[in-house]
Amino acid sequence: MKGCRKNNVRRIVLGGLLTMVVLVLAFAGRTVLFKNNLPAALTQAVPLAPPDAGRLQPLPGFASGAAFSMSLTPSQAAAQTSAKTAIRAKAAVKNGATVSKAPAKPPLPAQTKQKTVYLTFDDGPSKITPKVLEILRRQGVKATFFVLGEQAEQRPELISAIWEQGHAIGNHTYNHNYRDLYSSFTEFWSQIKQTEEIVRNITGVRPQLVRAPGGTFGHFDKTYFRLLAQAGYSVMDWTADSGDSRRKGVPAADILRESVADLTASRVILLLHDGGGHEQSAKALPEIIRRYKAAGYTFGVLDAEVQPVQFRVSASAAGAGHAQPSKAWIAANILPNRGLFTPGKALALEVGLLEAKLLPGEYTISGGQYKVPLRAAVERLGGKVSWEVSSRSGRVVWNGRTILADAAHQQLTITDGDGRQQIRSADVQLIGSSLWVSLRGLLDAAGHPPLTAAVTGEERRVKTL
């Protein structure tokens, strides 16, 4: 009887202990879920003790020393594991042990957006340009120079230096005269083409970038924008003005302040000048570069692939009543021009025992005829070209003949070795400062009539006698 009573007491004690273990685990799981602020913790059902928890139940595998397990949801299992870990940690601290925490993962680096600044210089080249080039060289920075045609004519060696040092060259018209440029689009066009040919004769490359003197705001109407785009040009204004042209003698400190006023923009196109009288701009340049570098900017070079920045058309420009070019003028000048910038095939000229090549952009095709720059075509084939100032004509000496190319009268005057002379009608155009002629007309006049014209996957080829 006494043994039975002891057994009953033992069962009651063991049952009570089991109930306490289950309740502790459930409470710990609920606490962990609450601390983790999981939405599921607000609705998680706490496991209740089974109805017969007061009695000792046979547990499969328990007697053989197998691990005690319960069927828990993932959140309950995580809570239980966390609770056990916390209990072990408290016990270790209580016994004087040191608890080592798992090393924290380093924070991921913040994603920084790419920032690019384009330094641009207008109105050169001038005596200040070499100093600007030297600063850029020392700093390892490239820039874009929007040059004036009349300055390029006077200082071709500086155009070559700009190009050879890896900078970009843009077109800033010929003389920067607002009255001429903004009286009509055809005058603006004439100056663009004139400067383009000057630069091409020096570098061999046509500038496709155009910047309007004074910017487009207040000067361009929709016709200017539309026709220049149709002709293949990229018009580029600016996003930041250094203020170096607002008045004469702007101090370097003021230029610096305006140039770095906003160092948070992802793209900056900065307007500076390297024309005469802008010594202070060159003085401010090293610190301008240092500030942009410190702010995390890279330095870019503009080209036709860069998204252009263009000011809106002002009400005054829209209502200025500029004369509109005729459809015939547009067809003759604007539409063929785009081909100068379109990737294409080189034109090989096989003339007698000589061969020359004109690259894409150095010739055009109009009305099924090749048109070429007179000087480039003749000189590459061994002839000589000079400029007749009085008649504004090109004088060619080639293959024992003298040819006078006259754009005003649209004719070629040919004088052979015996002094005999003949005059032929011809397609002769003065584009900028270069004469362009029909290739067939030129070859016929020189005594090299074309025999064949072919096009392959690699090139175009014209073969003559």
Question: For residues 234 and 118, what is the distance between their CA atoms, to the nearest angstrom?
Answer: 15
Sort 162 into a burial class: Cβ within 10 Å, 0-12 / 13-18 / 19+: buried
CATH superfamily of 116-314+324-332: Glycoside hydrolase/deacetylase (3.20.20.370)
- Examine the pLDDT at 175 and tell me if it is beyond 70: yes
Say which of 167, 219, 273, 322 is annotated catalytic.
Answer: 273
Nearest Cα to Cα of residue 272 among 309, 226, 235, 238: 238
5 falls in which pLDDT band (50, 70, 90)? Answer: low
**Mean of pLDDT values over 122-149:** 98
Q: How far apart are CA 293 and CA 316, in angstroms?
A: 39
Overall average pLDDT of the 326-332 stretch:
94
Residue-by-residue DSSP string for 188-249: HHHHHHHHHHHHHHHHSS---EE--TT-STTT--HHHHHHHHHTT-EE---SEE--TTSSTT
- pLDDT tens digits, 282-292: 999 999 999 99
pTM score, whole prediction: 0.65
Q: Edge-to-edge strands of the sheet including 369-373?
A: 364-366, 369-373, 434-438, 428-431
By three-state DSSP, how is residue 340 classified?
A: helix
Tell me, what's the pLDDT at 209? 98
Of 122, 123, 237, 244, the active-site residue reads 122
Q: What's the start-to-end Cα distance of the chain, in Å?
A: 137
pLDDT of residue 34: 39
122 is catalytic: yes
Fold of 343-464: Copper Amine Oxidase; Chain A, domain 1 (3.30.457)
What are the structural domain ranges in the chain?
2-59+73-94, 116-314+324-332, 343-464
Q: Please write the tens of the pLDDT for every residue from 55-69.
A: 444 434 334 333 333
> How much is the pLDDT for 155?
97
- With tokens 């010594």, the residue in question is 279
- Beta-sheet strands, E only, within 274-392: 298-299, 346-351, 354-358, 364-366, 369-373, 384-388
Question: Would residue 273 show up in a list of annotated catalytic residues for this protein?
Answer: yes
